[in-house]
Amino acid sequence: MAAGFGGGVWYGDAHASTSKAGAVPTTYPFRGEHQAGIVTPAQDRLHFAAFDITTRSRAQLVALLEAWTTAAERMTQGLPAGRVGPTEGAPLVPPDDTGEAIGLSPGGLTITFGFGPGMFRDQKGRDRFGLADRQPDALRDLPHFSGDQLDPARSRGDLCVQACSEDPQVAVHAIRNLARIGFGTVAVRWSQLGFGRTSTTSTSQATPRNLFGFKDGTLNVKAEEVAALEKHVWVGAEDDQAWLAGGSYLAARRINMHIEIWDRQGLLPQEQIIGRTKGTGAPLSGGTEFTPLNLTEKGSNGPLIPVDSHVSVVSSERNRGVRMLRRGYNFVDGSNALGGLDAGLFFIAYVRDPRTHFIPLQATMASNDAMMEYLQFTSSAIFAVPPGMKPGEHVGQALFERP
């Protein structure tokens, strides 16, 4: 038996495994109706990677998805990526696990896979793997929004992997080993590390803060809101392609925040731009953090919550009731050429249909949100996230099987 990573080895129980009562779960089930890492309580660390498919062989692509599924299931349960392990193989053969997670708990590791438009058609619209007729209509490159300054090298992707854990080394280990397994079939196109979750995906979690210092994601769709998930997050069987039923769409946007400029603004202007108090996160219309927004109540100078404030512009009340499940992270990637911090929010949202739940809201925000003065969008991508896997299945298996 290969050596495990220590702490949190788990096999097949229907519930998350914890090392002690009240502790953060060390493992979450890998298989189920939906992929883990969506409604799973958001962990503190992220390593996200987008891949280009380099092979022309459909068989090699399927073999990769099978290998990725096996390795991902093992790593999420506290086992090495391969059956031999990082230290017990032949001395002159590369280990089938890189070893930097030896002795570490999985820290609630989840690994979530998505398929980009480029998996179905190339840039000229040609069928790549006999899958063109199974591409969902909603799976198209996101449009260019006002204010976008996208880096093509950090946008798009044929496949994506989202690894989340309470331990950053565990998340990096997961992506590193999947990239190693994929050598010759895929290549990393771009990746992003994240820390300090900026969303709450469960009512058991406190609302975190972003790098502007404000609570973020107060009104996020939560795992406990079953009806809201069905309406806004999970793809329905009647929506489009049957193979995606029970899955979702992942929209990723890297948002650089001009934090040095923001830091020079007064507290009141900051709160008016956001629409909430900085201390408690309560709406400017009054109450506590979770008090519903009152977008019509007026003060001496107009609405208490300015119409161009962030919470007003993106509120479900002003966007046809649309909601999304956000799962973003802060990032700081050193300094930029001007000496400022290359920092901001790596925005991830899961939605039932990007055409109705993401694109219109993003367009409205780009045109009307006062906060846009302090933001710069530098990366953009969209992926279809297949449903969860039954025992013996690999990720996306239904896509490759003809009805």
Per-block mean pLDDT, blocks of 10 residues, the chain (403 long): 34 44 76 98 98 98 98 98 95 96 96 98 95 97 95 98 98 98 98 96 96 96 97 96 97 97 97 98 97 93 95 95 97 90 97 97 96 97 98 97 78
DSSP-assigned beta bridge partners for residue 350: 250, 325
Phi and psi at 133, nearest 5°, equal: -75, -5
- The pLDDT assigned to 17 comes to 61
What is the tally of helices (H) and strands (E) in the chain? 9, 11
Q: Are strands 45-53 and 248-257 parallel, antiparallel or unpaired?
A: unpaired
Reference 108, options 197, 45, 66, 160; nearest CA is: 45
- pLDDT of 21 reads 44
- Provide the angle, in degrees to the nearest 10, between the axes of the packed helices 168-181 and 58-76: 150
Nearest one of 48, 108, 52, 74 to 250, comparing CA atoms:
48
3-state helix, strand, coil in the chain (%, to 5): 25, 20, 55
CB 331 within 8 A of CB 253: no
At 59 the three-state DSSP class reads helix
What does R_g of the chain's alpha carbons equal in angstroms? Answer: 21
Are 368 and 311 a contacting pair, CB within 8 Å? no
Handedness of CA 276, 329, 192, 124 (dihedral sign): negative
Closest by CA position to 199, among listed 389, 357, 42, 397: 42
State the number of CA atoms in the 13 A half-sphere of 64 facing the CB: 24
Distances (CA, A) of 386 to 52, 53, 231, 245: 18, 18, 17, 8
pLDDT tens for each residue of 351-395: 999 999 999 999 999 999 999 999 999 999 999 999 999 999 999
What distance in Å separates the CA atoms of residue 140 and residue 249, rounded to the nearest whole number? 11
- Of the candidates 195, 231, 398, 205, which has an alpha carbon nearest to the alpha carbon of residue 316? 231
Q: What pTM does this model have?
A: 0.93
Q: How far apart are CA 399 and CA 389, in angstroms?
A: 12
3-state secondary structure (DSSP) of residue 342: strand
Q: Looking at this protein, which amino acid is placed at residue 342?
A: D
DSSP state, residue 56: -
Cα 86 to the center of its chain, rounded Å: 29
Locate 52 and state its tokens: 């280009």
pLDDT computed for residue 16 by the predictor: 56
pLDDT given at position 301: 85
Alpha-carbon span 375 to 243, nearest angstrom = 37
> Using CB atoms within 10 A of its CB, is residue 341 exposed (0-12), middle (13-18) or buried (19+)?
middle
∠ CA 222-223-225, nearest 5°, is 70
* Spatial contact of 299 and 293, defined as CB atoms under 8 Å apart: no
Per domain, the residue ranges of the chain are: 45-392
- Say what the pLDDT of residue 402 is: 74
CA triplet 375, 209, 169: central angle to 5 degrees? 95
**From CA 135, how far away is CA 240, in angstroms rounded?**
9
| pLDDT given at position 18 | 58
Q: What is the mean pLDDT of the chain?
A: 93
Return the closest-CA partner of residue 348 out of 309, 383, 311, 388.
383
| Widest pairwise Cα distance in the chain | 77
pLDDT at site 2:
37
Judged on CB neighbours under 10 Å (0-12, 13-18, 19+), 360 is middle
CA dist 295 and 292 (Å) reads: 9
Spatial separation of the C-alpha atoms in residues 283 and 278, rounded to whole Å: 10
Going by the DSSP 8-state scheme, the letter that residue 350 receives in this structure is E
